[in-house]
Amino acid sequence: MGCKKSKLNAGLNGGVLDGKNRQPVRPDQTVDLKDHTCSKPNAKSNSPPGGLLPGQVFMNMEEQSESGKIAIAIYPYDAVHADDLGFKKGERLKVLEEHGEWWKARSLTTKKEGFIPSNYVAEANTMETEEWFFKDITRKDAERQLLAPANKAGSYLIRESETSKGSYSMSIRDVDAQGTDAVKHYKIRMLDNGGFYISPKITFPDIGSMIKHYYIQSDGLCRKLEKPCDKPKAQKPWDKDAWEISKESIKMVKKLGAGQFGEVWMAFYNNTTKVAVKTLKPGTMSAEAFMEEANLMKTLQHDRLVRLYAVVTKIEPIYIITEYMSNGSLLDFLKSEAGCKVLLPKLIDFSAQIAEGMAYIEKKNYIHRDLRTANVLVSESLLCKIADFGLARVIEDDQYTAREGAKFPIKWTAPEAINYGSFTIKSDMWSFGVLLYEIITYGKIPYPGMSNGEVMTSVQRGYRMPCPENCPNELYDIMTTCWKSKPEDRPTFDYIQSVLDDFYTATEGQYQQ
């Protein structure tokens, strides 16, 4: 295969065999990896993490008599409600019922039964229990994870291939000759008679042995393995059936900001779950119109959209409870000390992530109506999520609904939306072009030095912002396609996502040789 060395994103390929009979394992099979890893390293060693979690080594007689799925706790969980089941990391659980994000289970340690968050456990005797294995992660997100601030050169992960079912690859964070962080990818290949290899010069009986070897020496890889990629703790699923909640269940902790229509707070729900709360000024919108939109908004669930958890509408001000994003808005982050240090590849990556979220909204035949960096939030690991999608439709403030009013985001809005109120996914695409300007200029206000009125008149006459300083021509070309006068001439978000995803990688191969 060819060679790919992308600074943004990449993916994986390879294969796994059953450790007992050395037959290829289908994607729907679990992989018996009881012998696939080495012993757990002590603090001074530089060998890989243990292949088995605490309590995973031996199955007691009672467990052997159990039928059905056995899961292992990857994270500890403290029971919050009477019907919850708390458990410790490494505890073994018999899964009794699987329903959505909450499963009913029985602890094989305490014999207690209750509901558990399904994303806190993994099926026993599969690679999902390994801290170096990342399940259901795309090629792009694998690289985003490795390039997150918590990781360093030598961080690595194993993941499933997107393109080759039942196959696996290794991704390693490296530093190139220019001192720039990069991620390199190695296909894990299978031997016909059993075993695995990256380089045909050396083969291994299982993936755990392979990892152990590459901790000791690089042996053809870009560098030795240092530690598994940092895996952010899974977010506890929202409470079952908690939609319209009481104001008393929310404890406001820290005011994060204030906007035209209300405030944003970091808060705790039931004193346990950290959330973000947007409070809406009385009169901003009717509770009935908001609930109609919110019921639609909560059905939109994607990794690039801020999750809507619950609402408070019985008493004003209306509360909107969402997942908490530690780095705040993308606009504020770009202006911060940390944001100013972000290099062009990451700026392009921010753009690609937002395009991915908008491609989902596009696929669902929804419209954002107010797409700008102020309405995109950033996580601790620098992942972007789109917020406030659809809210603009139900705002009743005269200074907003008049469109020429002081609160209306003229500089981000497509001409047909300003002139005729024609909001479509194509008007969102116009806004996305302006958002790209914000990103590449680290949060500068679009159309610098121009009033809203001047912008409306100039754009109508065909004016478009010039290429910003230090903006690649290829990125500016994307902006100008977003600003086509005819909405039907603007591209789809699905197309723009593919262009941005491949911004640095289109001419390179997939894997290291």
Q: Show pLDDT as tens, one digit a residue, over the chain (513 residues).
A: 444 443 333 333 333 333 333 333 333 333 333 333 333 334 344 445 544 444 444 444 444 445 578 999 888 888 877 888 889 898 999 999 887 788 899 999 889 888 988 888 888 888 888 889 998 888 888 999 999 989 999 999 999 887 777 788 999 999 988 888 999 999 888 887 778 889 888 999 989 999 999 999 998 899 999 999 998 777 777 776 688 899 999 999 999 988 777 889 999 998 888 999 999 888 777 778 788 888 888 888 899 999 999 999 888 888 999 999 999 999 999 999 999 999 999 999 999 999 999 999 999 999 999 999 999 999 988 999 999 887 767 655 444 444 554 457 899 999 999 998 889 999 999 999 999 999 999 999 999 999 999 999 999 999 999 999 999 999 999 999 999 999 999 999 999 999 999 887 643 445 664
| Cis bond upstream, residue 317 (ω within 30) | yes
Q: Which single residue is written with the structure tokens 């950290």?
A: 274
The Cα 377–Cα 169 span in angstroms is 31
- The verdict on whether residue 278 carries a ligand-binding annotation is yes
CATH number of 61-126: 2.30.30.40
What is the DSSP secondary-structure string of 489-503?
A: GSPPHHHHHHHHHTT
Distance CA 498, CA 163 (A): 16
DSSP states of 356-414? HHHHHHHHTT---S--SGGGEEE-TT--EEE--TTGGGG---HHHHTSSSTTS-GGGS-
3-class DSSP assignment, residue 144: helix
Tokens of 187: 């296909």
Catalytic site includes residue 230: no
pLDDT of residue 23: 36
Could you give the CA distance from residue 306 to residue 323 in angstroms, rounded to a whole number?
Answer: 6
Q: What is the pLDDT of residue 332?
A: 95
Domain boundaries, the chain: 1-44+130-229, 61-126, 247-323, 330-501
User: Judging by DSSP bridges, how do beta strands 155-160 and 227-228 pair with one another?
Assistant: parallel
Which listed residue (206, 370, 388, 501) is catalytic? Answer: 370
> By the 8 A CB rule, do 269 and 321 touch?
yes
Phi, psi (deg, nearest 5) at residue 288: -65, -50
In which residue are the tokens 């404890």 written? 251
Beta-carbon contacts of residue 34 (< 8 Å; ≥ 6 apart): 19, 51, 52, 125
CA 64, 66, 72, 78 dihedral sign is negative
Q: Which residues face 312 on adjacent strands?
A: 319
Query: What beta strand segments (E) does 176-314 contain?
Result: 181-187, 189-190, 196-197, 227-228, 250-258, 262-269, 273-280, 308-312
What is the assigned CATH class of domain 247-323?
alpha beta
**What does DSSP say about strands 102-107 and 308-312: parallel, antiparallel, or unpaired?**
unpaired
Residue 407, pLDDT score: 57
Q: Cα(224)–Cα(217) distance, rounded to whole angstroms? A: 5
> Whole-model pTM?
0.74
Q: If 0-12 CB within 10 Å is exposed, 13-18 middle and 19+ buried, where does residue 30 land?
A: middle
- CATH 1.10.510.10 assigned to domain 330-501? The reply is yes
Distance CA 120, CA 138 (A): 20
H or E, element range at 428: helix 425-440
Output the six-digit token pair for 27: 């994607």
CATH number for the domain formed by residue range(s) 1-44+130-229: 3.30.505.10
Residue 395 · residue 283 · CB < 8 Å: no
19, 45, 429 from 204: Cα distances, Å: 11, 21, 50
